[in-house]
Amino acid sequence: MELGQLFLELGGVIFLLALVGRAAGRLGITPIPLYLLAGIGLGAFMSLGNAPEEFIHTGAEIGAVLLLFTLGLEYTSEELSNNMKANRQIGIIDLALNFTPGLIAGFLLGFTPMAAVLLGGVTYLTSSGIASKILRDLGRLGNRETPVILAVCVIEDVVMAAYLPVVAALLIGGTLVAVGVNLLVALAAFGLAFFLALRYGHVLSRVMNVPSDEALLLGVLGLVLVVAGVADQLKVSAAIGAFLVGIALSGEVADRARRQIEPLRDLFAAVFFVFFGLQLNLAEVPPVLLPAVLLTLITGATKFAVGWIGAGRAGVQIRGRFRAGTTLIPRGEFSILIAGLGLGLAPSLGPLAAVYVLLTAILGPVLSRFDAQLAPLLDRKKPEKQAPAPGPT
């Protein structure tokens, strides 16, 4: 493809995203659902060349990484460790309530046992990328329910550190020894990264805190991408690797890094959500639409219950419990990845997962926005009963 044609197509896509973002601002909602719909429109009505598609795919991966990195900057390693310990039980509830519906649905749809296990993984995982963008767009990073949301997402990624190597080894016919080795490597890599962030984060912050903003930007971005790449090679989420870099940085360097990275994050985050829409082939939607809608309703309710219960256990009031539940509803990047592992086992698994992810990624942000509309009703206190007037004596 000629360079001029590449620029024209990419410029058109980015300009479309700008218009979509402005429309979302006028509506007072996060732009995520509109970005997803824009991606569907691009996939259905425009033919992009290979180069723009490769750029969008790569940009989507970078967007997910930067979203989780900037979310990690909001918390210290001590806060994260305490949150995970405090929310272990809610993590177990989350696994039971959200893995089971996908597993059962897989058997009801006639999938093989392995494909049903994959569908359980699709319905289990909240999209950390979408959840973090909801929190940022709606100004909720400092809310009392946010640590619960964060803990649930991190616990899910820890579960995935065990789930993905086992599933991948079973799909390629790996031996029990191979499965065990993959599992140990993934868990050891995550544990080592978390330990280093917890123990030596202050050292990293001092090393990265250089006077030049340009050098800081390049150093931080390079570090984030390298750690994300290593994490992915070790079968740990690239996004969770970037998240751990975020929590390792603290103090002045974290504040400066946030200001430097935010423009890049906003650009690539938009590309990240458009990419989901681009993957959906509209011709494959009708056969899987009903199962996808039913799964969305069931697992939307179960994921909402996880947020509601978890925030309630943390002493959060009704408004915060509602926000926690709706923020956890969207599924995203990991769900698409898991479905892609089993395309040879069940041809309808991919389209079903894509439609399901799209529906949950729209439902969660929209319901989160409605919380602001419902806030006066949720906070309204019942008037105290007046004591009866004394009767005549």
DSSP state of 284: G
**pLDDT of the residue at 386:** 45
Q: Which residues of 80-112 are buried (b: 16+ CB within 10 A; e: fewer)?
A: beebbeebeebbebbbebbbbbbbebbeebebe
Are the beta carbons of 369 and 28 closer than 8 angstroms? yes
* The residue to which tokens 């978390």 are assigned: 194
Residues with Cβ within 8 Å of residue 79, at least 6 apart in sequence: 147
Considering the entire predicted model, what is its pTM? 0.73
pLDDT of residue 175: 64
The pLDDT of residue 132: 82
Determine the pLDDT at residue 282: 80
User: 3-class DSSP state for residue 250?
Assistant: coil
| pLDDT value at residue 169 | 66
pLDDT of residue 236: 66
Name the residue among 227, 259, 262, 219 with its Cα closest to residue 243: 227
User: What are the pLDDT tens digits along the chain (393 aa)?
Assistant: 577 877 887 888 888 889 988 888 787 666 877 887 888 888 776 666 666 677 777 888 888 888 878 877 876 666 667 767 777 889 899 999 999 999 999 999 999 998 999 999 999 989 887 888 888 888 888 888 998 898 898 888 778 766 776 776 677 665 667 667 766 776 677 777 777 777 888 888 888 989 998 999 999 999 999 988 988 887 666 777 888 888 888 788 888 998 899 888 888 888 877 877 777 778 888 999 999 999 999 999 999 999 999 999 888 888 889 999 999 999 876 787 788 777 778 888 888 988 898 899 889 888 887 765 655 565 554 444 444 545 454
CA distance 387 to 23: 52
Q: Which domains, ranges and CATH numbers included, belong to the chain?
A: 56-370 (1.20.1530.20)
